[in-house]
Amino acid sequence: RKEVEQDPGPFNVPEGATVAFNCTYSNSASQSFFWYRQDCRKEPKLLMSVYSSGNEDGRFTAQLNRASQYISLLIRDSKLSDSATYLCVVNRGSARQLTFGSGTQLTVLP
């Protein structure tokens, strides 16, 4: 089983749609959870950290379910500029050892 698993997509959605991505992780001792976004041929950029209580940043909402070892990202009112690959990231061992999922590709269509 992979340490971090994501549905690779692609997800093709119209502008304005709501889209949700899921991610599962295998290490029950993990403490750090993030969503990064990566544009084509660019570096990953932090989108948001994921807190136990769930957190929201504008149109983006992240949820963590420790019991099920499951993380989600909800994007509301999708914009064309949201088109990217979304990477689920979880620590293993120390906070400095991050494992990245392979990413979920999102294309927002006009």
Partner 1 sequence: DAMVIQNPRYQVTQFGKPVTLSCSQTLNHNVMYWYQQKSSQAPKLLFHYYDKDFNNEADTPDNFQSRRPNTSFCFLDIRSPGLGDAAMYLCATSRGGQGPQETQYFGPGTRLLVL
DSSP string computed for the chain: --SEEE----EEEETT--EEEEEEES-TT---EEEEEE-TTS-EEEEEE--TT-EEETTEEEEEETTTTEEEEEE-S--GGG-EEEEEEEE-SSTT-EEE---EEEEEE-
Of the candidate residues 1, 53, 58, 96, the single one contacting partner 1 (CB under 8 A)? 96
Nearer to partner 1, 89 or 108 (CB): 89
Instruction: Please identify, using beta-carbon distances, which residue of 1 and 96 lies nearer to partner 1.
Output: 96
Residues 10-39 that bind partner 1 (CB under 8 A): 31-32, 34
Site string for partner 1, 37-76 (x = CB under 8 A): ----xxxxxx--x---------------------------
# binding residues, partner 1 (CB under 8 A) = 23
CB of 32 to partner 1, least distance (A): 4
Nearer to partner 1, 17 or 44 (CB): 44
Distance between start and end Cα atoms, the chain: 37
